[in-house]
């Protein structure tokens, strides 16, 4: 840790708007005063943007206005001037064609929202899956002092006395209905049991994973990730975050001071320990790109190999975020990583303390939720990166959510050309498929879907589910919901729509998955593969115009984070010319 706080007082960038007696300064102050802000708020104190992703069409973030008020309290208490700024809110559960298509758009909007306006620091008020990475990416590209506070997970769901987890049980119940084990009426009743309070998904899905990543990166206060949305301590966390950002501005503690290689390595190992979502791979690669770090898929495989999954949460385990919080939450996991020599203890955090200073004295209150290492869900919990002639640029698999017996498997490919083809044929009992086959779906990557939807965990054919079989090897260039499970190979790169080898797999080809040796192989000759690739043509016309075309033309592959090529890097926060 080499960070040295800046001297205070000094002139802040907000004074480029609010300072002095020029016509422009009076214009900037005067218009703000129509909201009743007293004159002394413009005197050079830190102006803090509370970037609020509230939206009633983003139910996971619909309670954030309340938290924004607590952040404001904290900012005022610490002598800052809070301004609440709504930003583009990407809802996982509603956005079409898929939320991932809009992560980069949100990041771009956030970046310009920060840079173009009179802020000295930012509180990133986030929750649902894409809101956390998009705001982190935008803030990292501006590099003003920034801190994350998340909305927190929903309370536990219960149905017929059993815990039901967001997403995880949606997939389970949906397959139970197909298998004839659950009625449609029971499904509707269970649906209401799953979401019984405000907040984000209560499993270790992508939202909880990304909240954990923000904390493990050092970008949120310690303990933030697991506090339930409706717990009073969530409001306290918001208020303390408001207090802290003011001091961060005075110290000039920026994302680039926190988001170091060591921070990313801590986050990657944390993802293995919590059994986190494969979506974290894409988001952290993209975030690293924003701060100019050369993070790769191979870093994920290398760093995750020795990390046991010790957090016993769905979808890999049995508990939910509420119990993770009661057990002590992420600080306990970080302490355990530190004790195992798997944590960069000196990594700086937004609190101004090192990671180890924050977590070294915490206690595990429930060893059935945060397990001892010898009882880990899997000893090698990190995301596996597979390569081979089917995925020259890599593909990922989450071992803690997979079936051990399928980790080495050779099977006959049953190919779906795209998601529509899959939906049209999967329920047909005449489909020539059995449980030894490998389900392959093409054209669901960034360019193909478009947007790289969470459809990689293709539901199994009903005729196989009725035999009581719940997992098969599945391969695609799609993503998978962090709440989902199965022996599912994802993010196959290059994607089919960009001409990757996945595009030329045919039904009847043999495919070999060998997780211990990190291999994904299409068993045809090199000559045959080359001939098929030479004959390949792109599947659909390129979008003409609008955001869809921008996305298609500039999105990069999943192996580098699927950011836009022109958004990589930090562009800084220099103030431009006068606004009028
Ligand atoms: Fe928003 Fe899960 S859908 S957090």
Q: Report the CATH number that the domain containing residue 515 is assigned in CATH.
A: 3.50.30.80
Is the same domain home to 388 and 460?
A: yes
Domain membership flag for residue 137: yes
Q: Which domain holds residue 489?
A: 384-540
Total count of domains within the chain:
3
Of 326, 491, 470, whose CA–CA distance to 401 is shortest?
470
Integer Cα distance of 328 and 317 in angstroms: 17
Q: What is the dihedral of CA 416, 417, 422, 424, to 10 degrees?
A: -120
∠399-403-408 over CA atoms, to 5°? 80
**Which residues, at least 6 apart from 69, have a Cβ–Cβ distance to it below 8 Å?**
none
Reported as type and span, the H/E element at residue 131 is helix 131-142
Nearest atom (ligand 1) to Cα of 93? 3
Phi, psi (5° rounding) for residue 102?
-110, 0
Is the same domain home to 511 and 534?
A: yes
Is the same domain home to 29 and 76?
A: yes
Domain membership flag for residue 563: no
Predicted local distance difference test score (pLDDT) of residue 543: 87
Select from 311, 346, 375 the last residue of a domain. 375
Residues 106-141 as b/e (b if ≥16 CB within 10 A, e otherwise) read bbbbbbebbbeebbbbbbbbbbbbbbbbbbbbbbbb
Is the same domain home to 183 and 50?
A: no
Residues 206-226 as b/e (b if ≥16 CB within 10 A, e otherwise) read bbbbbbbbbbbbbbbbbbbbb
Is the same domain home to 239 and 366?
A: yes
Integer Cα distance of 57 and 179 in angstroms: 32
> Strands 81-86, 47-52: parallel, antiparallel or unpaired by DSSP?
parallel
Predicted local distance difference test score (pLDDT) of residue 134: 98
Predicted local distance difference test score (pLDDT) of residue 1: 62
Is the same domain home to 399 and 352?
A: no
Is the same domain home to 251 and 219?
A: yes
Domain membership flag for residue 10: no
Residues 460-491 as b/e (b if ≥16 CB within 10 A, e otherwise) read bbbbbbeeeebbbbbbbbbbbbbbbbbbbbbb
Predicted local distance difference test score (pLDDT) of residue 580: 62
Nearest atom (ligand 1) to Cα of 59? 1
Task: Show the ligand 1 pocket: residues with CB < 6 angstroms.
Answer: 60, 92-93, 128-129, 166, 200-201, 205, 207
Give the predicted TM-score (pTM) of the model. Answer: 0.97
Integer Cα distance of 158 and 291 in angstroms: 42
Select from 375, 407, 423 the last residue of a domain. 375
Domain membership flag for residue 72: yes
**Which residues, at least 6 apart from 93, have a Cβ–Cβ distance to it below 8 Å?**
58, 59, 60, 128
Nearest atom (ligand 1) to Cα of 58? 1
Residue with CA closest to ligand 1 atom 2: 201
Beta strands in 467-567 (DSSP E): 473-476, 488-493, 510-514, 519-522
**Residue 396 is encoded by which pair of tokens?**
């990922």
Residue with CA closest to ligand 1 atom 1: 128
Integer Cα distance of 255 and 510 in angstroms: 47
Domain membership flag for residue 42: yes
What spacing in Å lies between the alpha carbon of 166 and ligand 1's midpoint? 8
Mutate to test the pocket of ligand 1, among 92, 94, 153, 482 (most ligand atoms within 8 A of CB): 92
Of 437, 379, 384, whose CA–CA distance to 409 is shortest?
437
What spacing in Å lies between the alpha carbon of 314 and ligand 1's midpoint? 14
Reported as type and span, the H/E element at residue 125 is strand 121-126
Is the same domain home to 137 and 126?
A: yes
What DSSP string describes 64-83?
HHHHHHHHHHHHHHTT-EEE
Is the same domain home to 356 and 283?
A: yes
Nearest atom (ligand 1) to Cα of 129? 4
**How would you write the pLDDT of the chain (580 residues) with one tens digit per residue?**
689 999 999 999 999 999 999 999 999 999 999 999 999 999 999 999 999 999 999 999 999 999 999 999 999 999 999 999 999 999 999 999 999 999 999 999 999 999 999 999 999 999 999 999 999 999 999 999 999 999 999 999 999 999 999 888 888 888 888 888 999 999 988 888 889 899 999 999 999 999 999 999 999 999 999 999 999 999 999 999 999 999 999 999 999 999 999 999 999 999 999 999 999 999 999 999 999 999 999 999 999 988 999 999 998 899 999 999 999 999 999 999 999 999 999 999 999 999 999 999 999 999 999 999 999 999 988 899 999 999 999 999 998 889 999 999 999 999 999 999 999 999 999 999 999 999 999 999 999 999 999 999 999 999 999 999 999 999 999 999 888 889 999 999 999 999 999 999 999 999 999 999 999 999 999 999 999 999 999 887 788 899 999 999 999 999 999 999 999 999 999 976 665 6
Select from 350, 375, 400 the last residue of a domain. 375
Please give, one letter per residue, the 3-state secondary structure of 185-214: HHHHHHHHHHCCCCCECCCCCHHHHHHHHH
Domain membership flag for residue 136: yes
Is the same domain home to 238 and 345?
A: yes
CATH number for the domain including 113? Answer: 3.40.50.2300
Is the same domain home to 441 and 531?
A: yes
Is the same domain home to 270 and 369?
A: yes
What spacing in Å lies between the alpha carbon of 504 and ligand 1's midpoint? 34
Domain membership flag for residue 560: no
Task: Count the helices and strands in the chain (H runs, E runs).
Answer: 20, 14
Domain membership flag for residue 25: yes
């Amino acid at each position: 840790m080499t960070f040295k706080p800046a001297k205070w007082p000094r002139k802040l960038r907000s004074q480029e708007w609010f300072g002095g007696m020029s016509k422009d300064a009076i214009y900037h102050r005067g218009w703000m005063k129509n909201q009743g802000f007293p004159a002394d708020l413009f005197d050079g104190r830190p102006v803090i943007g509370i970037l609020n992703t509230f939206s009633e069409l983003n139910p996971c973030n619909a309670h954030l206005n309340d938290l924004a008020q607590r952040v404001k309290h904290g900012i005022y208490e610490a002598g800052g001037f809070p301004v609440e700024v709504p930003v583009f809110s990407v809802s996982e559960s509603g956005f079409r064609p898929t939320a991932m298509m809009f992560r980069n758009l949100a990041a771009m909007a956030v970046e310009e929202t920060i840079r173009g306006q009179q802020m000295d620091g930012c509180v990133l008020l986030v929750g649902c899956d894409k809101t956390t990475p998009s705001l982190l990416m935008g803030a990292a590209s501006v590099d003003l002092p920034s801190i994350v506070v998340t909305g927190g997970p929903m309370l536990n769901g219960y149905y017929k006395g059993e815990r039901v987890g967001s997403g995880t049980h949606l997939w389970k119940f949906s397959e139970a209905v197909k298998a004839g084990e659950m009625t449609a009426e029971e499904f509707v009743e269970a649906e209401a049991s799953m979401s019984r309070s405000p907040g984000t998904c209560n499993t270790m899905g992508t939202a909880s994973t990304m909240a954990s990543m923000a904390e493990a990166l050092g970008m949120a206060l310690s303990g933030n990730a697991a506090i339930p949305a409706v717990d009073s301590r969530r409001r306290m966390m918001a208020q303390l975050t408001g207090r802290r950002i003011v001091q961060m501005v005075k110290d000039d503690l920026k994302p680039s001071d926190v988001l170091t290689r060591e921070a990313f390595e801590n986050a990657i190992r944390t993802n293995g320990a919590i059994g986190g979502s494969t979506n974290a791979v894409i988001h952290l690669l993209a975030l690293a790109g924003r701060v100019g770090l050369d993070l790769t898929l191979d870093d994920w495989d290398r760093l995750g190999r020795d990390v046991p999954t010790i957090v016993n949460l769905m979808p890999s385990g049995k508990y939910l975020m509420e119990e993770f919080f009661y057990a002590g939450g992420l600080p306990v996991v970080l302490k355990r990583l530190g004790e195992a020599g798997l944590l960069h203890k000196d990594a700086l955090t937004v609190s101004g303390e090192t990671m180890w200073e924050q977590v070294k004295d915490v206690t595990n209150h429930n060893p059935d939720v945060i397990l001892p290492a010898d009882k880990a869900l899997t000893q090698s919990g990190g995301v596996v990166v597979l390569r081979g002639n089917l995925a020259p640029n890599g593909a990922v698999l989450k071992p803690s959510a997979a079936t051990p017996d399928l980790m080495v498997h050779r099977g006959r490919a049953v190919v779906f050309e795209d998601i529509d083809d899959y939906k049209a044929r999967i329920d047909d009992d005449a489909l020539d498929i059995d449980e030894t086959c490998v389900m392959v779906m093409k054209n669901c990557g960034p360019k193909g879907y478009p947007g790289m939807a969470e459809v990689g965990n293709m539901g199994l054919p009903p005729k196989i589910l009725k035999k009581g079989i719940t997992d098969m090897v599945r391969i695609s260039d799609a993503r998978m919901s962090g709440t989902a499970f199965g022996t599912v190979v994802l993010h196959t790169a290059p994607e089919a729509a960009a001409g990757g080898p996945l595009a030329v797999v045919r039904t009847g080809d043999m495919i070999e998955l060998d997780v211990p040796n990190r291999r994904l192989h299409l068993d045809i000759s090199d000559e045959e593969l080359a001939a098929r690739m030479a004959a390949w043509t792109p599947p659909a016309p390129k979008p003409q115009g609008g955001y869809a075309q921008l996305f298609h033309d500039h999105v990069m592959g999943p192996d580098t984070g699927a950011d836009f090529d022109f958004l990589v890097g930090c562009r800084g926060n220099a103030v431009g010319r006068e606004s009028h």
